[in-house]
Structures are given as structure tokens and as C-alpha cells.
Structure 1
Amino acid sequence: MELLHRTALLLLLLTAAALCWAQEGQPCTCLRNKRTTNCTMRSGTCWCTSVASQVAVNCTALTSKCLLMKAEMAGLKKSGRRERPKHAYVDNDGIYDPDCGNGNIFKAKQCNGTSCWCVNTAGARRTEKSDTDLHCSELVRTSWIIIETKLGERSTAVDAAYLKDIIKKEFGKRYLLDPKYISDVVYENPYVTIELKQNLSQKTPDDMDIADVAYYFEKDTKGDSLIQDETLFFNISAEPLKFDQTLIYYVDEKPPEFSMKRLTAGIIAVIVVVILAIVAGIVVLVITRKRRGKYQKSEVKEMNEMQRELNP
């Protein structure tokens, strides 16, 4: 009987060893850390490489916060949601009545009454507002547009490679944009970054301008489509994509010329308030010390008089 038990135990050990040997080197999934790559089974344990640090982590335990934060920051940088080109900027002025020149493009100088400013080929203001004497020497081309948007909630997952392909296809179909002008599509659930690049030397008379394409897409995602009887419809896994919180960043061939004059008044006001507060504090402190000094002198005088009376 004892021999039978030992034989059964030995068989179990051999079976476990065989299973471990069969799994050795096989791909695996790190259940406790999704920010990992190159996951393989080693001695029955799933081991992976932590993103951005190249450190091996044991997936049966929790990964350290330091490695997790490092991996998260690497993902954010890669997605482009936080790091953008140095001179990328958003048009915060909204719609205005533009002055269109030859070829129905924006004139370099735009005015609204007595206020004027310079714009790029996308019509976005790239200088401070000034009076009508403002001179805009040229219409600077917007050669790079970054579209940041967010996918609505879905019941099915989205494959990043497939999303990139379908966006290129639909941009060509809906906005007539040559796919070569879509330089990249980055997806990090739920955010999507679409980069459009088009130098003047690349653009032919028949090519759609990336500024026009971005404007059409922005209108589509905000429920104000410019295309008759047709709404934006991207379908993945029999479920439509819904875009939200769209932002458009412009990168011109020359840096914008904002002088930050708008902020000067606010900064000066803050400085004035701080200085006044400091001065008021000093005045109160001086007055308090003077009063305290008077009280002390008065007390000393009274004490001297009392001593004289006691010692005639």
C-alpha cells in the first residue's frame, strides 16, 4: 500500500515537471501588470519585461509603483497626448468672418472692426491682435496638424493597427485625402491621435488641404457635419466608432509670433497686488513696533517714578 502511494506521488511529480517543461519558453500574459512586453513562461512562472525600464518582473506578484509609473509615462509620451511639437497651438478664438483671397484661401491679415491679426493657412491666429496698421508679410503655411480625439465607450475592443487602416481609408473616402498625408495614427484607449503632414512642395492642385480636412472632421465629431445627408460613420467589429472631445493643434512652417502681451496686464496686476500686500504688512509691522516701543518707554518711566517715591 505504501509503495502504491509513493508511486502515485512520483507520477504526480513527473506530470507536474512535464507540464512545466512543456510550458517553458511559451508566451504568457501578465495578469497583474498590463504594461509589460516579451512575456514567457520560466519554471512555471510568467515573467515579462516592464515597459520603459527593461526590468524583468514576476507576474505572480505586484510590480513596484516606480516601474509602473515609468511605464505609464512612457505610454503617455508615445501616445502624443502630453508631448507635442514645441510650436503646436490650438485656435481658441473660434469662428470669425474671414477675408478670403485668391484661390479662396485665407488672407494673411484678418480684421474684425478695428482689431487685426495675422493667420496661417488654416485661418488660426498666430500673432497678437493689433490695430489696422498691423503688417502681415506672408501667409505662413500650416504643414502639420495634430488631431486629438477620444473614443466613446464600446462593448468591443479596438485593434490599433486596424483602426489606423480604417481611418486612412475613411479619410480618403469621406474627405478625399490622399493617405500619404496621414503620417501616423496612434491609439491608446480611449484616445486617438491623428497626424496630418503636407508641405507646400508635396501638395498638387487636386490634393485636399489638410487644414480643410481637419475642419471637416472636427465639425463631424461635434455633430455639425458639413456633408449633406451623411453622418460620420466608422464601423469596427459591427459597432460604430464615436469620437468626442476633439482638439486640433497647428504646427506652422514658422513659429507663431505671440508676444504674450495679453498676459502682461494680468501679471502686472498680480505683482501690484503682492507688492501692496507686502507694503501693507510692513506698515502694520512698523506701526505695531512703534506702539509697542511707546508702551515699553511709558512702563519704564512709570517704574522709575515709583522707585523714586519709594526711595526719597
Structure 2
Amino acid sequence: MEPLFGVVLGLILAVASPAHDSCTCATNKWAVCAEDGPGNCTCRLPGSDHPVDCSTLTPKCFLMKAEMIPLQEKRLWRPPHGVSDSDGIYNPDCEDSGDFKARQCNQSSSCWCVNSAGVRRTERGGRSLSCSELLRTRRIYLELAHERSSRAFGVPGVAKALTQLFESRYKLHPKYIAAVKYDPPLIQIRLDQNKKPRWDVDIADVAYYLEKDVNNDSVFPSDSKLTVSVNGDALAIEKLWIYYVDEKPPEFCMRQLAAGISAVVTVVVLTAGVGIAVLLLLRWLRTRTYKKFESKEMREIKAPSLELP
């Protein structure tokens, strides 16, 4: 009876395992998935009650919010260091669609306005700060540096490999890749997306996923590694810089700039003043030495002569 029971149990596990494995998120390893019906799998991120669409990239706002969950409530996730976003990650307020809300605030009642990539574009203010609209990041410049290779990569091959990477891994339509420039080991990519249809991924989400991949902290499942191959040769990306361009210029006030200029002017004036003072002192000392020397010569000339008897 026991062997028969073992066979039946093995068959049950064999049938159940594929169903369990199928309830995973192919584009987000941090999503918690569960079957809520026959063949129906629903995935959610920590810190968000909104379902995650695992057929495309998860919005950056939802990802950043999940990163802010205390470590004891989620798996360890090293914060990213966006090279051009000096504020780093914070606990954002997200729309139901996954977009950032135009105004973001922290627990100390400090608020600021962000663009559609979640990057601060104004000075910090109080709760009374008004952000009338969420300005779209219409262009993103990506600068990548790859490891030195014994073989030289051609520009067409690099452009083709990266276009395929963005399309297959990050679900980005090639029409949004405006330009690819290559000067070994530096690669420059320009993404343009003035308007985004609902079904297309946002270039800000693509840049964030790429940043996580380069920092060895991929959002994809562990069996999906970032690999770039140019005509069969591996292109190992080791550095990444990201620059955001919005529909309108940032609205940082001039106070910090004015303070910096004032400091520079003060240093220049003080330096010039010290220099002039040193020159005057040297001139005074030189004149004083000359007068002493002249007085001594005059005394020697006017010395009384001896009279003969």
C-alpha cells in the first residue's frame, strides 16, 4: 500500500509543480504571485496593492516604493545609485497607473516637484509647494562603458546588438532609439519618446531596469542575466551614466547659484586685496631701504674734514 501511495503522491507533485512554477513574474523577481483561480496568476509588489503586469516592465514608481519597504518585510535589495539623480531613491507617491505624482514629499514635510522619471526638478519646499503638472521626460541620454576587449567592435554591430537588447529584454520599440554612437569603450544612446501610447513601455522604466542590470541588482529573475553579444563576442558593460531631458528646463531657483557666485566673487576680491597689500608692502619696504641707504651715503659725504695747522 505504501509504494502505491508514494506513486500517487509523486504524480500529484509532478502535476502541481508546473502550475506552481508558472505563477511567477517574468519581468520582476520581487513580485509576490499567487493563483486566485484556475490558470489565473496575480502578482503584486511589496508596498503596493496594484497588480503587476508581468508581460512588460514594472513602472519605476512602483519599484522605488517596493525598495523602501523595511528589510524585515522584504528581501534584501541594494539601493541603486543613479549617476545623474543625486537624490537617490525615496518613498514615492504613485498614481494607480504607476506614474509618479507631480509633487513628492518626505516625512519631514519637505516637498519637491518631479518629472515623469521621478527625478527632482525644483528646489525643496514646504507642504504648500504646488506642482501643477507632471512634466514628461521626453529624452534620455545613456552613456555606457564596456570592458576592454582584445577584439574591436564595429559601430554597426554594437548598434544592432543594443537595439536587439532593448527590444527583447526591455520591450522597447526600436523607434524610440534615436541614435547610437560608439567610441571605444564609450557607448552613447539617445532615447526619444515625446508621447507614449498606453501599450508602450516608458523610456524612464527602461533606463531604470538597465541601471539595475549594470549594477548587478537586476529586477529580472536570477536566471535572466544581462548579456550583450556583438557578432558572437561578449560586450561586458561595466559603467552607466543617465541624463534626463524634460519638456521644460528644471525650475531650480537662483539662490544657490547666486550664493555660489557670491562666494567666488568674495574669494577673488580677497585674493586681489591680499595681492595688492603684498605689493604695497614690498614697495614700502623697498623705498624705506633705499632711503636708509641714501641717508647713510649722505652722512659719509658730509663727514667733517681735518684742518692743517
Q: TM-score range by the shorter chain?
A: 0.5 to 0.7
Give yes or no for contact 2:114–2:121 (8 Å, CA) kept in 1: yes
Given residue 131 of structure 2, which amino acid in structure 1 is its aligned partner? C
Question: CA distance change for structure 1 residues 309 and 96 in 2, over 3 Å: closer, same or farther?
Answer: farther
Question: CA distance change for structure 1 residues 283 and 310 in 2, over 3 Å: closer, same or farther?
Answer: farther
Give yes or no for contact 2:157–2:231 (8 Å, CA) kept in 1: no
- Report the Cα offset of residue 148 of structure 1: 1.2
1:82-109: CA deviations, max 9, x gaps?
xxxxxxx932332222222342211222
* Residue number among 140, 145, 148 corresponding to 1:145 in the alignment: 140
Q: Provide the residue aligned with 1:109 in structure 2.
A: 103
Secondary structure, in 3 states, of the residue corresponding to 1:139? coil
- Report the Cα offset of residue 286 of structure 1: 4.2
1:191-210 equivalences in 2 (<5 Å): 191-200=186-195, 203-210=196-203
1:197-234: CA deviations, max 9, x gaps?
1122xx22221111001110111112111111221112
* Residue number among 253, 256, 272 corresponding to 2:247 in the alignment: 253
Q: Give the Cα–Cα distance (whole angstroms) in 2 for the partners of residues 256 and 293 of structure 1.
A: 58
Identity score, percent: 45
* Residue number among 220, 243, 252 corresponding to 1:227 in the alignment: 220
Q: Give the Cα–Cα distance (whole angstroms) in 1 for the partners of residues 183 and 163 of structure 2.
A: 17
Q: Give the Cα–Cα distance (whole angstroms) in 2 for the partners of residues 152 and 263 of structure 1.
A: 38
Q: Give the Cα–Cα distance (whole angstroms) in 2 for the partners of residues 296 and 154 of structure 1.
A: 70
Question: CA distance change for structure 1 residues 158 and 295 in 2, over 3 Å: closer, same or farther?
Answer: closer
Q: Give the Cα–Cα distance (whole angstroms) in 2 for the partners of residues 291 and 186 of structure 1.
A: 63
Q: Provide the residue aligned with 2:88 in structure 1.
A: 94
* Residue number among 235, 253, 262 corresponding to 2:256 in the alignment: 262
Question: CA distance change for structure 1 residues 206 and 309 in 2, over 3 Å: closer, same or farther?
Answer: same
Q: Give the Cα–Cα distance (whole angstroms) in 2 for the partners of residues 285 and 258 of structure 1.
A: 42
Q: Give the Cα–Cα distance (whole angstroms) in 2 for the partners of residues 301 and 188 of structure 1.
A: 73
Q: Give the Cα–Cα distance (whole angstroms) in 2 for the partners of residues 282 and 162 of structure 1.
A: 61
Given residue 92 of structure 2, which amino acid in structure 1 is its aligned partner? P
Q: Give the Cα–Cα distance (whole angstroms) in 1 for the partners of residues 266 and 84 of structure 2.
A: 31
- Report the Cα offset of residue 115 of structure 1: 3.6
Give yes or no for contact 2:176–2:191 (8 Å, CA) kept in 1: yes
Question: CA distance change for structure 1 residues 298 and 139 in 2, over 3 Å: closer, same or farther?
Answer: same
The number of residues matched between the two structures is: 222
Structure 1 alignment gaps of length 5 or more: 1-88
Given residue 216 of structure 1, which amino acid in structure 2 is its aligned partner? Y
Q: Provide the residue aligned with 1:165 in structure 2.
A: 160
Given residue 93 of structure 2, which amino acid in structure 1 is its aligned partner? D
- Report the Cα offset of residue 280 of structure 1: 3.1
Question: CA distance change for structure 1 residues 289 and 164 in 2, over 3 Å: closer, same or farther?
Answer: closer
1:64-143 equivalences in 2 (<5 Å): 90-112=84-106, 113-143=108-138
Q: Give the Cα–Cα distance (whole angstroms) in 2 for the partners of residues 207 and 157 of structure 1.
A: 34
Q: Give the Cα–Cα distance (whole angstroms) in 1 for the partners of residues 149 and 292 of structure 2.
A: 81
Q: Give the Cα–Cα distance (whole angstroms) in 2 for the partners of residues 289 and 188 of structure 1.
A: 56
Q: Give the Cα–Cα distance (whole angstroms) in 1 for the partners of residues 123 and 250 of structure 2.
A: 10
Give yes or no for contact 1:146–1:193 (8 Å, CA) kept in 2: yes
* Residue number among 209, 212, 215 corresponding to 2:205 in the alignment: 212
Q: Provide the residue aligned with 1:177 in structure 2.
A: 172
Given residue 198 of structure 1, which amino acid in structure 2 is its aligned partner? Q
Pairing 1:237–2:234 present: no
Secondary structure, in 3 states, of the residue corresponding to 2:97? helix
Given residue 141 of structure 1, which amino acid in structure 2 is its aligned partner? R
Given residue 151 of structure 1, which amino acid in structure 2 is its aligned partner? H
Q: Relative contact order: is structure 1 or structure 2 higher (C-alpha 8 Å, sep ≥ 6)?
A: 2
